[in-house]
Structure 1
């Protein structure tokens, strides 16, 4: 299966980088063809320009500044997101990827004024996320990243079974043992993805 891994963390020595390495390694060992999109390493510009917003609904031109990324999304049969949760949301670079690449005609199409999912070729979806705070804090504010993946993004892709949303909460107080256990959990999940 062709798996697009979207990775969003700027520090190569972070725990998130270790998770990213585990995801790519496990998917590769499982025989998947992995397209590893490290947004920071690739220098992805997350800023939606004025002109891009003006052209947003014009299917003839809305992809022109991000077409290589659109093509990667369109080739994918599965999508795995690897990111930290900052300020109860996605890192800006990942949010910018969704804003600039998940365009009309790409992730959705308009039918009678209603947005309809357009990523039916994506048959599997997963996320690997870390949160600085405890789970109760994320729940208190509604856990927007979890809902964005398990509800919004899920609605744009093909019919899915379970959507693994793998999380390590309370990173601010994590230990070597909690990080090791989570790394092992992620590796096992990706090996059977």
Structure 2
């Protein structure tokens, strides 16, 4: 049995992202998997640095109790599942702030900085899943809009904190999608072997 951590980033429980979250939870429960949930908006996570938080960054410290809690949850997870919309070709500011503040520099934290680059410390995470939705069709996003989720978030950010394997699953063309298409996507999530 794996220990999953779901990181959910959407402010509205009537969103399609919330339906995706519910389907992922149903999938994990049906397979008797252990999981924890971080709901960034519901938990009122503050994604912005203040002066004191930035001062503490290079010491691997924080004055935000949620930062300490979330990093510990990341350190205890075998698998991480992100559920987020794509806003303006990338992850929302809330999720970017989660990465900025929670990923602390220092041995035994999320990463260390070496002379040759960043070495990830979260090697306990064997796989990440990134579930997104976008107003643009997926092919447009991948081939014409820069593919920021794959190129930056997965291939750079997640790798730098130690996550070597990740899978991206996007539901594109959200604005013009039909109910049947959304249901088909949710059914795909239900059938996944996470």
With structure 2 as the length reference, what TM-score do the two structures score? 0.89
Task: Return the alpha-carbon distance in structure 2 between the equivalents of residues 155 and 49 of structure 1.
Answer: 24
Task: Quote the offset at 1:159 in angstroms.
Answer: 4.3
Counterpart of 2:146 in structure 1 is: 142
SS of equivalent to 2:57: coil
* 1:57-113 C-alpha deviation (Å, 9 max, x unpaired): 113xx2342211111111111100001101111111111101110121332112335
Choose 46-55 or 119-128, whichever is displaced more: 46-55
Q: Does 2:170 align with 1:167?
A: yes
Q: Does 1:56 align with 2:61?
A: no
The aligned counterpart of 1:117 is 120
The count of corresponding residues between Structure 1 and Structure 2 is 187
Post-superposition shift, 1:46? Answer: 0.8
Per the alignment, residue 81 of structure 2 pairs with 80
Q: 5+ unaligned residues in a row in structure 2: which ranges?
A: none
* Cα pair 2:78 2:126 within 8 Å, conserved: yes
How many Å separate the matches in 2 of 1:14 and 1:99?
25
Q: Contact conserved, 2:85 with 2:133, CA < 8 A, in 1? A: yes
| Contact 2:9–2:83 (8 Å) recurs in 1 | yes
Counterparts of 2:190 and 2:15 in 1: how far apart (Å)? 17
Please provide the CA RMSD for this pair.
Answer: 1.6
Alignment correspondent of 2:190:
187
Contact 1:24 1:36 in 2 (8 A): no
Residues of 1 paired with 2:75 and 2:161: CA distance? 12
User: What per-residue deviation string (whole Å, max 9, x for no partner) do you get for residues 111-159 of structure 1?
Assistant: 3352101111111211110011123432323121222343121343354
Q: Is the 8 A contact 1:4 1:36 kept in 2?
A: yes
Unaligned runs of 5+ in 1: none
The structural deviation recorded for 1:164 is 2.2
User: Secondary structure at 2:151's aligned position in 1?
Assistant: helix
Residue 28 of structure 1 and its aligned partner are, at CA, apart by 2.1
- Distance change >3 Å, CA 41–CA 154, structure 1 → 2: same
| Contact 1:70/1:101 (<8 A) preserved | yes
Instruction: Verify the 8 A CA contact 2:110 2:122 in the aligned structure 1.
Output: yes
User: What TM-score, normalized to structure 1?
Assistant: 0.89
